[in-house]
Structure 1
Amino acid sequence: MATTFIIPTGLPGPSGGSRYNKALIRALEAAGCSVSVCGVPGPWPRPEARDLERLRAALAGREQVVVDGLIASSAPDEIQAAAASGTRVHVLFHLSLLVDGAVPPDGSGRAAALERRALQSAHTVICTSNWAARDVVNRYGPLPTRVVSPGTDQAPLAVGSAPPQLLLLASVTPRKNQLAILRALAALTELDWQALLVGPDAADPDYAQRVRLFAEAAFPPGRVQVLGSRTGPGLERIWSASDLLLLVSRAETFGMVVTEAVARGIPAIVGAGTGAEEALALGPHAPPGIAVAPDDTAALEEVLRGWLSDPAQRAAWRRSAEGARGMLPTWDDSADLMLRILTP
């Protein structure tokens, strides 16, 4: 059965969701699946009338579609109409709009109603982690959920740096919580370390500016570098020089950067109670890192101080990360799970 992925285009990024989509589509094509991609521009998840018209055109006459949740969650009428016409509609649900910060508080009730209707109309709600599947069912009740977790590409072992390089690799937003990490690091300036903040900063310019100003005020020049987006060889050089990933998000579906770090032998500190814990625990032995309550600055400071001060702990986390490399799921594994959903 021919399958069309309907994905948003023209949004700030790259994001974990957009990278997931591309990698999964590439793996499905490599597995011989008949896949096409239809990009729908617009300010998703706040579409205008012309954006919804483009979506209706993209859905029309399709046999089977996988609609990115950023689109589907704000277009329940279009999802319902496509399903009623006989199209097999799957929603690829990365994260609820209410968690992602994409909806202002005064619009949360309406957004939840739209998202619920869209998901209830889908043949399948494909979640990108077990955490995401639990979260959406807790919000909206029983749904036809299936889980297709991200895969991981093989990568060379990181070399690391002296002093240790801490990597914050995420979009600069309140949900990703970079300020909490910087506040913890501000109490550790007597120790040797350097930090890089890497990721797009256009989603919340005010927050990004607060992060930059705090970094400039709290640390000597060059100690904390805010670099913006990096891709390709430039990002690979950053990975190779890194010793610890910091992803202490307030909410996280999975945290692909966690498994990408582990694939390079880099341990991670992640946000407790988020999907990033799931990513960190994929290995068979001790997790290569630890989860910390996202807004407990004192706890984060304590964990970072221990890691920075104790060579034995750094070595143990590194061994755990190296030992988990061969146990990480691949994108071929993800494609196999998706094919089971797409095949009637």
Structure 2
Amino acid sequence: MTAVHVVLPGDIDDPANPSGGNAYDRHVCDGLAGLGWTVREHQVPGGWPRPGPPERAALGALLGGLPDGATVLLDGLVASTVPGVLVPHAARLRLVVLVHLPIEDDAERRALATATAVVATSEWTRRRLLERYPLAPGRVAVAPPGVEPAPAAPGTPGGGRLLCVAAVTPVKGHDVLADALAEVAELGWTCDWIGPLDRDPAFVDRVRRRLTDAGLTARVRLVGARSGADLADAYAAADLLVQPSRRETYGMVVTEALARGVPVLAADTGGLPATLGHAPGGDRPGLLVPPDDPGATAAALRRWLTDPGLRDRLRRAARQRRDTLTGWPVTVDRLATALKEATAA
């Protein structure tokens, strides 16, 4: 039987702190167990990726207690900032680092150098790591996220139910979206913002003031974190997902929307264009705009809201793209292959 120790952030199963990385980790741990692996989870509480001395010491003690030759899969949120903790164990453990979002600094360079293998969660992330660090291409695998099948969303005739699913932080671009929505205030729409509100309270306050100044507080709802059936209901009620991120390596919410045939308006940054992809006939199932550009975002929203033909085309492409998405078993198989290769190294 194949065994793997998985080192995870302590909040992986906290419904108040949902994230794509946590969802990915939970799916692959459960999926590996389903394939017959012995999966030993080690959740490490703390302020990752900015751990204090006690958290570093606890991680070191954890790794020190694992048997020689053990295969250890570490979430990059934990591993990428603590090369000094990893180095003493690199020769006797088979360390595999799972990188969701590159940090791109010297600490991450040194941390990844200790790894037997690195697994990136998108092709864009793999390319970025190989550009940034002296890693052998054969040591860097890719296991993109899967998506659960879901019923197609019906949509509304006017397309005015907008949805944004992301923690309200600067990198996710909610300030860009607020300014864009203000430019199309005369049109008929509502927009639900679903995601944690406690990651950057000062930023949330600034965005709330923008919405108040623009007279949009009755139309833009900051509803906080949602998961399970509540989140599924939000996708099912949506006409358009808006993802205005300044930086994104994959964007799992994009495939969550596409799994329901919901088109996407996204920033043309990082891995988002590849995640949005194309329908089999070559059509985009959504619109791409430059990142950090409220004017371009507003123009795309105006097109969506005022052009029924465009809405029909994008909805048709999204439903076709829906049939091309891969599920979590594919992700788990790719990760399992990387772990087996690390075990054999």
Q: TM-score normalized by structure 1?
A: 0.92
Rounded to whole Å, the distance in 2 between the matches of 1:282 and 1:259 is: 12
- After the TM superposition, which of the residue ranges 311-320 and 45-54 deviates more from structure 2? 45-54
Aligned residue among 233, 236, 243 for 1:237: 233
Q: 1:224 is matched with which residue?
A: 220
Q: 1:119 is matched with which residue?
A: 112
> Within the alignment, does 1:301 sit opposite 2:298 as a pair?
yes
Aligned residue among 16, 21, 26 for 1:22: 26
Aligned residue among 249, 262, 268 for 2:264: 268
> Within the alignment, does 1:68 sit opposite 2:79 as a pair?
no
Q: Secondary structure at the match of 2:60?
A: helix
- After the TM superposition, which of the residue ranges 160-169 and 286-295 deviates more from structure 2? 160-169
Rounded to whole Å, the distance in 2 between the matches of 1:89 and 1:125 is: 9
AA aligned to 1:80 is V
Write out the 4+ residue segments of structure 1 that deviate beyond 3 Å after TM superposition: none
Aligned residue among 126, 132, 136 for 2:129: 136
Rounded to whole Å, the distance in 2 between the matches of 1:66 and 1:58 is: 13
Aligned residue among 291, 294, 299 for 2:288: 291
- Pairwise CA distance, 1:160: 2.8
Q: Secondary structure at the match of 1:314?
A: helix
Q: Secondary structure at the match of 2:241?
A: strand
Q: TM-score normalized by structure 2?
A: 0.92
Q: 1:106 is matched with which residue?
A: none
Rounded to whole Å, the distance in 1 between the matches of 2:278 and 2:116 is: 29
User: Contact 2:243–2:267 (CA<8 Å) still a contact in 1?
Assistant: yes
Rounded to whole Å, the distance in 1 between the matches of 2:145 and 2:59 is: 26
Rounded to whole Å, the distance in 1 between the matches of 2:166 and 2:156 is: 20
Rounded to whole Å, the distance in 2 between the matches of 1:250 and 1:220 is: 23
Rounded to whole Å, the distance in 2 between the matches of 1:126 and 1:220 is: 42
Q: Secondary structure at the match of 2:171?
A: coil
Q: 1:323 is matched with which residue?
A: 320
Rounded to whole Å, the distance in 2 between the matches of 1:65 and 1:326 is: 35
Rounded to whole Å, the distance in 2 between the matches of 1:141 and 1:210 is: 40
RMSD over aligned CA atoms reads 1.6
- Relative to structure 1, the CA distance from residue 51 to residue 221 in structure 2 (aligned partners, 3 Å threshold; closer, same or farther) is closer
Rounded to whole Å, the distance in 1 between the matches of 2:53 and 2:279 is: 46
User: Contact 2:163–2:238 (CA<8 Å) still a contact in 1?
Assistant: yes
Q: 2:99 is matched with which residue?
A: 93
> Within the alignment, does 1:83 sit opposite 2:90 as a pair?
yes
- Pairwise CA distance, 1:157: 1.1
> Within the alignment, does 1:41 sit opposite 2:45 as a pair?
yes
> Within the alignment, does 1:145 sit opposite 2:137 as a pair?
no
Q: Deviations over 1:107-131 (max 9, x none)?
A: xxxxx12111001111111100011
User: Contact 2:5–2:72 (CA<8 Å) still a contact in 1?
Assistant: yes
- After the TM superposition, which of the residue ranges 2-11 and 286-295 deviates more from structure 2? 2-11
Q: Deviations over 1:122-171 (max 9, x none)?
A: 11111000111111222223342111100010111113346521111001
- After the TM superposition, which of the residue ranges 40-49 and 56-65 deviates more from structure 2? 56-65
User: Contact 2:194–2:224 (CA<8 Å) still a contact in 1?
Assistant: yes
Rounded to whole Å, the distance in 2 between the matches of 1:175 and 1:88 is: 33
Q: Deviations over 1:191-222 (max 9, x none)?
A: 11110111012111111111222122213442
AA aligned to 1:74 is T
- Relative to structure 1, the CA distance from residue 296 to residue 134 in structure 2 (aligned partners, 3 Å threshold; closer, same or farther) is same
> Within the alignment, does 1:172 sit opposite 2:168 as a pair?
yes
Q: Secondary structure at the match of 1:39?
A: strand
> Within the alignment, does 1:279 sit opposite 2:246 as a pair?
no
User: Contact 1:268–1:289 (CA<8 Å) still a contact in 2?
Assistant: yes
- Pairwise CA distance, 1:302: 1.3
AA aligned to 1:141 is P
AA aligned to 1:239 is Y
> Within the alignment, does 1:56 sit opposite 2:60 as a pair?
yes
Q: Deviations over 1:37-59 (max 9, x none)?
A: 11001111111121112112222
User: Contact 1:6–1:58 (CA<8 Å) still a contact in 2?
Assistant: no
Rounded to whole Å, the distance in 2 between the matches of 1:213 and 1:237 is: 28
Sequence identity of aligned pairs in percent?
38
Structure 2 stretches lacking a partner, 5+ long: none
User: Contact 2:278–2:285 (CA<8 Å) still a contact in 1?
Assistant: no
May I ask how many residue pairs the two structures share in their alignment? 330
- Pairwise CA distance, 1:282: 5.7
